[in-house]
Amino acid sequence: MRSGEPIAEAVSVLADLPVAGYLFNCTHPAAVAEGIRTLRALTDRPIGGYANRLNAFQEGWTLDNDVAMGLDTSVDVAAFVAVGIECVGAGATMIGGCCGVGPRFINALRDALEARGVNLETS
């Protein structure tokens, strides 16, 4: 996790609570994919993530300051779709986008998953 705690520790703390599922939100697609692979080994609850397209966090960045993040241009539609497919293959049942990920990315991911026969439910 970005704050440094192991994912397994977080899952362990929540294991006895009525948690419906586990999600990674607003982080780089590669981190979401890595987290999903880790989570799948730790729980049978639904898992997923909402990846962003922001550049890596800079030292000193906080939610309440004016440090601009900028978009990671290496995360184009094709890269986003590839990671989304990887996440679903690793067991994600909830997948989407966050900062910098617009309808074009989500539509392309949906189309790619449908083409692979993935049963999609949207809400």
pLDDT digits (tens, 9 = 90+) for 10-31: 999 998 999 999 999 988 999 9
pLDDT: is 68 or 99 the higher one? 99
Distance CA 44, CA 47 (A): 8
- For residue 113, CA distances in Å to 41, 69, 83, 110, 120 come to 23, 30, 11, 5, 8
Residue 1 has pLDDT above 70, yes or no: no
- What the block records as the tokens of 37 is 């692979």
Distance CA 30, CA 86 (A): 10
What pTM, to 2 d.p., does this model score? 0.86
Res 64: pLDDT: 74
- Label residue 69 by pLDDT band (50, 70, 90): confident
Residues whose CB is less than 8 angstroms from the CB of residue 83 and which lie 6 or more positions away in sequence, other chains included:
29, 30, 32, 33, 51
Mean pLDDT of 73-77: 93
